[in-house]
């Protein structure tokens, strides 16, 4: 090895004074290790170099996992804040008609969904003018509609929150908006003993906004608050 410096004096002094700069630069360290392997010849197996490559690969995987966990945490926090804001807005109205109008307006905007519909079961056909005025938010269905809609007529367990994708929405639920609904969240509502169930449906044009793989805790919480608010209006 030559004792005569082959690099610029200023650069050499910089490296000597701050060696950590080189140690923290992965590309530079790889280049130095590769140069060292060349001087060793082709017949020598550098176990230390192999170990370092494996450690680097493991570190890269850990960093990817770390970034994914942080991203998921931020997404969950944003979703929690979103639901909390929607609940506070939902609790503001002092009249039932305003409550439902806000549901299809500002509450839907806060939740970033394209349609919010409330379906109430009734044992007899309703011809209430109030229902006609709120036809873009509220609809009345026959007894048994809620369970049949959630399960699609199949013998499957009923859940409080069901997320799914679809080719188009149900016209009875979404009205004129049904054709462009591509995913939905179905929240089954329990209004208390002696009352028929209800269904709160959130529809989205984005087919990936609601999928079966997503968590449902926040929407279950929203459904619980909505049930209690509705019991106040129904009492």
Sequence ranges of the domains in the chain: 95-234
pLDDT at 4 over 60: no
Mention every residue, 6+ apart, whose C-beta is less than 8 A from residue 28.
22
Taking the C-alpha atoms of residue 86 and residue 162, their distance in angstroms, rounded to an integer, is 19
pLDDT at 213 over 60: yes
Element (H, E) at 108: helix 106-111
pLDDT at 187 over 90: yes
Q: How do residues 102-137 score in pLDDT, each as one tens digit?
A: 888 899 999 999 999 999 988 765 555 555 555 578
Buried b (16+ CB within 10 A) or exposed e, 155-167: eeeeebbbbeeee
Q: Label residue 206 by pLDDT band (50, 70, 90).
A: very high
- Assign a CATH topology to domain 95-234: Beta-Lactamase (3.30.450)
Element (H, E) at 166: none
User: Quick one: which of 102, 100, 115 has its CA closest to 175?
Assistant: 115
> pLDDT: is 132 or 99 the higher one?
99
Q: C-alpha angle with apex 81: 80 to 87, nearest 5 degrees?
A: 90
pLDDT at 226 over 90: yes
pTM of the model: 0.67
How many helices (DSSP H) and strands (DSSP E) are in the chain? 10, 5
> pLDDT: is 215 or 180 the higher one?
180
- For the ranges 73-87, 119-133, 160-174, the maximum mean pLDDT occurs at 160-174
Q: How do residues 57-68 score in pLDDT, each as one tens digit?
A: 777 788 777 777
> pLDDT: is 32 or 193 the higher one?
193
Q: How do residues 47-59 score in pLDDT, each as one tens digit?
A: 566 666 777 777 7
């Amino acid at each position: 090895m030559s004792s005569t410096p082959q690099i610029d004096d200023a650069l050499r002094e910089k490296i000597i004074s701050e060696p950590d700069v080189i140690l923290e630069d992965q590309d530079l360290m790889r280049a130095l290790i590769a140069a060292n392997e060349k001087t060793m010849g082709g017949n020598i197996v550098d176990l230390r170099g192999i170990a370092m490559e494996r450690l680097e690969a493991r570190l890269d995987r850990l960093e990817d996992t770390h970034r994914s966990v942080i991203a998921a945490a931020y997404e969950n926090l944003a979703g929690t804040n979103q639901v909390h804001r929607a609940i506070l807005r939902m609790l503001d109205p002092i009249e039932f008609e305003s409550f439902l109008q806000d549901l299809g307006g500002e509450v839907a905007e806060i939740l970033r969904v394209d349609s919010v519909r409330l379906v109430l079961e009734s044992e007899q056909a309703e011809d209430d003018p109030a229902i006609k005025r709120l036809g873009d938010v509220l609809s009345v269905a026959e007894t048994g509609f809620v369970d049949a809609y959630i399960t699609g007529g199949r013998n499957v367990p009923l859940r409080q929150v069901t997320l799914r994708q679809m080719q188009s929405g149900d016209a009875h639920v979404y009205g004129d908006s049904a054709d462009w609904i591509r995913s939905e969240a179905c929240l089954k509502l329990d209004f208390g003993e002696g009352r028929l169930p209800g269904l709160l449906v959130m529809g989205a044009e984005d087919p990936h906004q609601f999928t079966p793989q997503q968590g449902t805790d926040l929407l279950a919480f929203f459904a619980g608050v909505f049930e209690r608010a509705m019991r106040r209006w129904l009492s």
